[in-house]
Structure 1
Amino acid sequence: MDRKIAIVTGANSGFGLLSSIELASREFHVLATMRDVKKAEELNKLARLRGVDSYITILSLDVTSEESIESFKGTLTDQYTSVDLLLNNAGYAFGGFAEEVSIAEYREQFETNVFGVMAVTQMVLPFMRKQGKGKIINMSSISGRFGFPGLSPYVSSKHALEGYSESLRLELKPFGIEVFLIEPGSYQTNIWTSGKKVASGSLEKESPYYTYMQKIESEIEKGQDRLGNPADIAALVGDIASGKITTFRVPAGRGTRLTILLKGILPWKTLEKLILKKLFH
């Protein structure tokens, strides 16, 4: 096989699906992984439409399952001689106010968004280290840089991913392996509609946070017409893969760079006043 090998997790929808198509169109053979391969219909359809279906292989991988990861590792060892790119994209977003989010729900969020990334990365690293090269792209979020209210499960998981990726980049650089973080803002994906969304207690009128949650959801609704095109994130993945982007952190989306800049220069007291004023004006 003369194409480079790319692994994409969570490839059945959103950034993962579009990134798989993008990488296949940029001289990669993509191992597009997902928990349930029955959900590959949309990916297969778009791949055929774009004429890259022969460069995409659909494989089962549940990033939270040790057994699934071991099985996938066996497939890699038996059928492929190298791994050139890993896109850790699998994840979901869970919200709710901290008092009303169970510890079990926090753990579940971290199992996919953090420990899943770590497990798949550990599985791939021996391949990259042996060949002396490789790229790992971790799909973070603006929530990995700023702690928005009502989103602490998701926010804390992405903050953890950012810290892990910083250490990982410094550890792997001497071995010729590069690590990148993409930090999208708000995009038109199904991350808030697939599976669980918000802790049930925060949606009940009896909740002390109910009014607060309503204000947050209202702000989210107002921003629907400003959501970015997820194809732009897939293009960034392609540019990192092809060497056009070499910076560690890649913020993306409307207002993302400004938010990061303001957090860096404004006192926290000023920031929280601005946020609370926007929610409770």
Structure 2
Amino acid sequence: MSKVILITGASSGMGKETAKTLIQKGHTVYTVARRIEQMEDLKSLGGHPIQMDVTNNGDIQHVVDTIIKEQGKIDVLWNNAGYGLYGSVEDIPLDDARKQMEVNVFGMAAMTQKVAPFMRKAKSGTIINTSSMGGKMYFPMGAWYHASKHAVEGLSDCLRLELKPFGINVVVLEPGFIATEFGSVLLEQFDKLPKESAYRNMMDKIAEGTKKAAQGNGSSKPSVISDAVVKIIHSKKPKTRYRVGKFAKPMVWMRTYLGDRLFDNIVMSQM
């Protein structure tokens, strides 16, 4: 059965690849991102790209109003927009940290607030929130990113209980290492931080590991995410969490069962 699907953060990576798959499967797919020029190929495939910034309430309202006017409903909202802010807590300007939270957490919440009333009225719908394996564990230099994804986890759990009486599913997607722009963004951020930073040695080691992962077999293809999203959308009763991609399951398992100090030692052994 064809569904009306709204995907944020669809100009590249997981969002874009999944949008292509869903369009091919006959769904009506609206894709939003700031870089609309990078979604022109989705339009040629039959998608509906719209320029939108998840931190702009007017943009969000315009997108939701447009979809409701054209389709009368939104069956699936995939809150996928987000990015990783990397650097030490000491070095990262708090304005940058606030922006991280604004995009990764409050942008997701704003989208949900605009779409949920229509799902409640229909007494059905699915909301997928992109977290990360980083929402359950941690690496040094990623404090604000991990904080945002831990927040996504907690918000999603509460939302799931709130919307359950209205027949709406809330699903958390927890990707591991996926071959996207994520690594290159991390490296660019490190380059912007003070060269004399006390944490430069640690940053250099993380950067080196990131480059090796990108060059070798350190990441899963975005298709593992599209497979998971298709499974969620087609399921009448999806699981509450889908942990997919390189290292996602083993890393979260170690974090859950090995305790803080042992996990700390494992992480720092890679530094």
Which TM-score bucket, shorter chain as reference?
over 0.9
- Decide which of 109, 117, 133 is 1:118's aligned counterpart: 109
Give, as a single letter, the amino acid of the residue that structure 2 aligns with 1:227.
Answer: S
What is aligned with 1:278? 270
The alpha-carbon distance between structure 1 residues 215 and 192, as it changes in their structure 2 partners (threshold 3 A), is closer
- Provide, for residues 161-219 of structure 1, a one-character-per-residue CA deviation record: whole Å limited to 9, x for no partner: 11111111111111100011111111110134359942556451x11111111111122
Number of the residue aligned with 1:165? 156
Aligned twin of 2:29: 30
The 8 Å contact of residues 94 and 109 in structure 1, kept in 2 or not, is answered as yes
For 1:87-166, list aligned pairs within 5 A. Answer: 87-166=78-157
Amino acid paired to 1:16: G
Q: Percent identity?
A: 33
* RMSD, matched Cα: 1.9
Please state if 1:239 is matched with 2:261: no
Partner in structure 1 of residue 204 of structure 2: 214
- Count of residues in Structure 1 that have an aligned counterpart in Structure 2: 269
2:50 pairs with one of 59, 65, 82: 59
1:189 matched to 2:177:
no
Change (3 A) 1:237 1:156: same
Deviation (angstroms), 1:246: 1.8
Q: Where does structure 1 lack aligned partners over 5 or more consecutive residues?
A: none
The structure-2 alpha-carbon separation of the partners of 1:43 and 1:73, relative to structure 1 and needing over 3 Å to count, comes to closer
Q: Is the 8 A contact 2:86 2:186 kept in 1?
A: no
1:77/1:254 Cα in 2 relative to 1: closer, same or farther (>3 Å)? closer
Query: What is aligned with 1:229?
Result: 221
CA contact 2:6–2:30 (8 Å) conserved in 1: yes
Q: TM-score, normalised by structure 1?
A: 0.90
Supply the distance in 2 between the matched residues of 1:267 and 1:58 (Cα, whole angstroms). Answer: 45
Structure 2 unaligned residues grouped into runs of 5+: none
Residues in 2 aligned to 1:195 and 1:213: alpha-carbon distance in whole angstroms:
10
> Does structure 2 conserve the Cα–Cα contact (< 8 Å) formed by 1:140 and 1:181?
yes
Counterpart CA distance in 2 for 1:97 and 1:28 is: 42
TM-superposed deviation, 1:266: 1.0
TM-score, normalisation: structure 2? 0.93
Q: 1:61 to 1:263 in 2, by over 3 A?
A: same
The 2-side partners of 1:89 and 1:11 are apart by 8
